[in-house]
Amino acid sequence: MVQIGLLGFGNVGEGVHEILVKNAVRIQERCGQPVRIKTALVRDLSKPRSSASQGISFTTNPDDILNDPDISIVVEVLGGENPAYSLISRALKFKKHVVTANKEVIAKHKETLFSLARDHQVCLSFEAAVGGGIPIIRSLKVGLAPNEIEGIYGILNGTTNFILSRIENDKQEFNVALAKAQELGFAEADPYMDVSGLDTAYKLVILAYVGFKVNITLDQVAYEGITSISRTDIESANQLGYTIKLLAIGRRDNAGNHVFKVHPTLILKSHPLASIQNELNAVFVRANGLGECLFSGPGAGPLPTGSAIVSDVIDTIFDFGCHSRRHVEPPAKSVVPLQSATTESQFFIRLTVADSVGVLETVTRLLGKHNISIANLIQQKNHKDTATILIITHHIVESEMRAGISELEKETCLKVDSVIRVGFSDSIE
Amino acid sequence: MVQIGLLGFGNVGEGVHEILVKNAVRIQERCGQPVRIKTALVRDLSKPRSSASQGISFTTNPDDILNDPDISIVVEVLGGENPAYSLISRALKFKKHVVTANKEVIAKHKETLFSLARDHQVCLSFEAAVGGGIPIIRSLKVGLAPNEIEGIYGILNGTTNFILSRIENDKQEFNVALAKAQELGFAEADPYMDVSGLDTAYKLVILAYVGFKVNITLDQVAYEGITSISRTDIESANQLGYTIKLLAIGRRDNAGNHVFKVHPTLILKSHPLASIQNELNAVFVRANGLGECLFSGPGAGPLPTGSAIVSDVIDTIFDFGCHSRRHVEPPAKSVVPLQSATTESQFFIRLTVADSVGVLETVTRLLGKHNISIANLIQQKNHKDTATILIITHHIVESEMRAGISELEKETCLKVDSVIRVGFSDSIE
């Protein structure tokens, strides 16, 4: 029998337990032996537990797990940086295999932790840290192992995707959609981590490590959230044939330069990522052998996350007694990603202008001055004496775009409402 | 160094070689040693080979591979049942690990071959046999290992999907679309295997084995192809908000009964599978922990297939010296799937009727007699003295549906043009 020590017994911990109990027969068949949770670390021993958790020994002392020779795998589902980081480190030093769902700890401490795992010849697995239940980490590590990865484009945060879907489909404003997400449990009381793009940025750091085999830090990811995205932006994008998603983008150009960034992005409605709705996650990968492929599924929730965690547990058990390279991350290269300002993109611009002769000419002239050429333009009259102009530009270096926008902002006859990046392509995005 | 013996050096064999050469650095980093093709079995030694294949020793004698102690992994890319089956069997008996792309051999001989692999403690891998480059086999075997699989719905044949996409998007008739597919190399000169649904049925037998852990034979899969699908059918489906795909369906109901079938299926345009275009493949999986997830990507082609094969090679190398359970398929249960006639489905019916009073009443009365109730109906006048009636039924047992259709066919005032199954749901499909 394989016995697990669980660090944390919140929603995700309960999901792990539920999967292990519900699918015990299948898991035992696969592993050749039963798998059970022996001990769970909790904050409050007096909190009532469900009857299904009978047989688990609860403790407030992590040493009851780390020092227990019967426990071979430690599953960390505490979340947050501390004490998760120190407990994972200690578990590895105690030669326990570790499975974690903790994006923050992996993103911040990957080099130290993978080095510890190598030194102590144990597995450190983290499928659940990115994309919830979607087996994206395993697919990048093994299924796509023969490929050089050229691009990774992910919808990695269920909360923001839910909010954007609500705004688009139910014509709600941002704050209403956020409140609904909180009511349904898709968003935290403090939504900063999600809506700021920080959560997505952590996950991109991990995908960069696994996919591109490069070691970047959070401050090398330019990230923006969705708080500035209005219902009008999404409706305008729809008019032009696009939707708006919070996208994590990692890519490498032919010269070997990397770009890593997170920002709201206009995506053509015909692209597979455009159809990823509500709390779903998806990762679109471009690889030099396989080509383009898409993985999508539930990005969060106790059971999907529990499924990813238990798949790591099973995969760890497969490797008992045979220290395989499969679970050992070799040291990754450090790179200096390109600054976002130096990369090219198409842009969506939404302007409110005085509804008078010559304004459109002013706009095109000022943009032209900065070599910003227009791919698509709609001008439409508003109720009052104003008009709205929607523009999709051709590809332009971001710093030039900003200079052009600054110039527009000096004009009193118009107001720049929104500037949002558009779509993606590997060569010039 | 790991040395491979390649059985076959056609398009896919060249793809394997190209991946190994192009991404040699990445593959070596991952495996801890270089990987190369030592010997390739070919039919004709005098055929000119590309300069890139220098360094490979070509032979017409399989013993030059099977008897070579330097060769640890045999990759079979001959296709077809024989001599592939006997060569794979011999390789396993010689304790070579085997990687194959051969859906027919795996579908027909899986029990014998996996038993040989178990007995000789070697790996037998077949990622490329289903879904081309998409890592679906590995995802079912490991990533979704903690789940009971409830449903698998796959677009598994690139040729038929290409033809259906052409008919839909370019308004071509079946034969024109087929000729185009042949011209582009997506369809064989003899397209029977693809358009009859047989290729998809082989792949479903494999997915049943890996996903549901059941051992079924080809004659337990009711399969239909796309030769009867006309441009008018697809246009009519579009009118009702659907598209038509050749779908492999495997599912298990709550009572533990399995259904396995392949047929053209109307799919709501909003479903992720509806957006899988041209030669792409996709697999939609419903699992009891993870929920619903989608995998899509290129289903064929030398490089995508080569990528899947080399991922199996790398995964095999990970397990060198540690006979893990990962690559060993345990004996699967035999099941008796439900007969297609006893299962429920919604149906699409297209009728041409005399444009006269009372015909619609006749149609609804005859269907009602067999408890076939109508969910959606469009009647439209044609150029001549006829009208077209498009019907989507509610769920109905297939045998009752057939009885109702037989009754309609007796009427002289109407003609049944098409009857096609609609959509999917797990409980009642």
3 state SS for A68-132: CCCEEEEEECCCCCCCHHHHHHHHHHCCCEEEECCHHHHHHHHHHHHHHHHHCCCCEECHHHCCC
Question: What's A340-421's CATH class?
Answer: alpha beta
What is the ipTM score, two decimals?
A: 0.94
Q: Comparing A2-132+303-334 with A136-298, is the CATH topology the same?
A: no
Closest B-chain CA to A137: B143
On whether any CB of chain A is under 8 Å from the CB of B149, the answer is no
Whether residue B135 and residue A144 make contact (CB cut-off 8 A), yes or no, is yes
On whether any CB of chain B is under 8 Å from the CB of A272, the answer is yes
Closest B-chain CA to A275: B272
On whether any CB of chain A is under 8 Å from the CB of B255, the answer is no
B171 is an active site residue: no
**How far away is chain A from the Cα of B276, in angstroms, using its nearest Cα?**
8
Tokens read off for A231: 């219902």
Task: Enter the pTM of the model.
Answer: 0.95
- What does each of the 429 residues of chain B score in pLDDT, given as a tens digit? 999 999 999 999 999 999 999 999 999 999 999 999 999 999 999 988 877 778 899 999 999 999 999 999 999 999 999 999 999 999 999 999 999 999 999 999 999 999 999 999 999 999 999 999 999 999 999 999 999 999 999 999 999 999 999 999 999 999 999 999 899 887 888 899 999 999 999 999 999 999 999 999 999 999 999 999 999 999 999 999 999 999 999 999 888 899 999 999 999 988 889 999 999 999 999 999 999 999 999 998 999 999 999 999 999 999 887 777 777 677 788 888 988 888 889 999 999 999 888 889 999 999 999 999 999 999 999 888 899 999 999 999 999 999 999 999 998 888 999 999 998 754 434
**How far away is chain A from the Cα of B312, in angstroms, using its nearest Cα?**
8
Closest A-chain CA to B299: A290
Fold of domain B340-422: Alpha-Beta Plaits (3.30.70)
Architecture of the A2-132+303-334 domain: 3-Layer(aba) Sandwich (3.40)
When pLDDT is cut at 50, 70 and 90, the band that residue A50 belongs to is: confident
Whether residue A310 and residue B145 make contact (CB cut-off 8 A), yes or no, is yes
- Identify the pLDDT of residue A429: 40
Tokens read off for B43: 């039919």
On whether any CB of chain A is under 8 Å from the CB of B307, the answer is yes
**How far away is chain B from the Cα of A52, in angstroms, using its nearest Cα?**
17
Q: Which among A19, A272, A314 is the nearest to B289, CB-wise?
A: A19
On whether any CB of chain A is under 8 Å from the CB of B211, the answer is no
| DSSP secondary structure of B163-177 | HHHHHHHH---HHHH
- Identify the pLDDT of residue A425: 55
Residues from chain B that touch A321, judged by Cβ atoms under 8 A, are: 322
Q: Domain B136-298 classified CATH 3.30.360.10?
A: yes
Q: Which CATH superfamily is domain B2-129+303-334 in?
A: NAD(P)-binding Rossmann-like Domain (3.40.50.720)
Residues from chain A that touch B288, judged by Cβ atoms under 8 A, are: 22-23
pLDDT of A254 higher than 90:
no
On whether any CB of chain B is under 8 Å from the CB of A294, the answer is yes
On whether any CB of chain A is under 8 Å from the CB of B298, the answer is yes
Residues from chain B that touch A212, judged by Cβ atoms under 8 A, are: none
Q: Which of B38, B203, B245, B261 is catalytic?
A: B203
On whether any CB of chain A is under 8 Å from the CB of B269, the answer is no
Sorted by where each begins, the domain ranges of chain B are: 2-129+303-334, 136-298, 340-422
- Identify the pLDDT of residue B92: 97
Active site residues of A: 203
Closest B-chain CA to A133: B290
Tokens read off for B214: 């059941």
Residues from chain B that touch A19, judged by Cβ atoms under 8 A, are: 146-147, 289
